[in-house]
Amino acid sequence: MVHGKNSNKRIWSLYNESLVRRMKDILDLKDMENYSHDLKKQNRRKNGRPLILPDKIIGILARIRAVFNASFRSLESYMRIFREILGIPRISYSSIFRRIRKIRVPEIMNASSSVAVDSTGFKTTIRGDWLSNKWSKKRKGWIKLHVSADTEKIMASRMSLTAEHSHDPTQFYRLITGHEVKVFADKAYDSRKIFNLLGNNGAEAIIPLRKNFSTLSRTSPLRGKTAREIRKLGEEEWKCVHEYGKRWTVEIYFSGLKRVIGEIIRARRTDYMIQEVGSKVLYYNMMRENTRTYG
């Protein structure tokens, strides 16, 4: 109970304020106040042509691009606005492009006791299928994002990026830290290797099996145990007992990520695509961390 109210009931005043503050926190402009000092520090031991903007300001532009899906020419427009307000020198969009592309997205490594695993796709073009078919354009495909999402915080614990034809189970080992107690996934992850991996880690594998499953262990004791339990209880009852509905938290995460950050990737090179998707996941995690709903 919070102030006489049920704790699982959304507190709208708290939730609305957190939505306002999370954008302010992720685009914090305090780094611009001491840009002269940061610039001198960064150019102190630099070889070659000196920089006219520190990395902190380039980081702000990178966040604007990821959150608002802004083009590099739009970022140059932002710099002209900052020059008029704060007197910060502007740089061309080509210089912004080169500086942003040098930013290395840190690996997301948030240990969680309960995760839900799944994948989704990010479009690499805004061209519709109708135009592609009419003009016989080769389909550019999409980037596949694999995520293990914390079922309590609804945040990405780990992620992996592949081409569209990569199968989900091949990336499963990249999404597990070894500290999980419960792992939720759909039938696409019904594999003896996955069950053995979770069994060796001491985790509970809440993964429904395919229709033609056998109750024999066949080199996977944990999968055999799950098969016998499903055969005894029935799949629907088994899902209720193990709270399989929590698997939908990863779908909620994907929905929020695409609605808030967007699902279009502007880059054309593979390494740039990976950087853009990684940035979107990183900054959306920061926004989720600053979102408060239930007190």
What torsion, rounded to 10 degrees, do the Cα atoms 113, 176, 271, 53 define?
30
Report d(CA 5, CA 279) in Å as an integer. 38
pLDDT digits (tens, 9 = 90+) for 132-157: 666 666 656 778 999 999 999 899 99
Report d(CA 66, CA 274) in Å as an integer. 12
Q: What integer pLDDT is reported at residue 87 of this predicted model?
A: 82
Give the residue-averaged pLDDT of 83-111: 87
From the centroid of its chain, how far is CA 19? 18
| Mean pLDDT for all residues in the chain | 86
pLDDT digits (tens, 9 = 90+) for 191-221: 999 999 999 999 999 999 998 888 888 899 9
Q: Of 180, 147, 150, 177, whose CA–CA distance to 161 is shortest?
A: 147
Strand partners, 150: 115
- 142-150 and 156-163 beta bridge pairing: antiparallel
For 251, half-sphere exposure in the C-beta direction (CA atoms, 13 angstrom radius) is 7
pLDDT digits (tens, 9 = 90+) for 30-64: 777 777 888 888 788 778 887 888 888 888 899 99
pLDDT digits (tens, 9 = 90+) for 157-199: 999 999 888 899 999 999 998 889 999 999 999 999 999 999 9
Token duo for residue 141: 């495909």
Exposed, middle or buried: residue 277 (CB in 10 Å: 0-12, 13-18, 19+)?
buried
> How far is residue 244 from each of residues 109, 120, 165, 211, measured CA to CA in Å?
24, 20, 27, 17
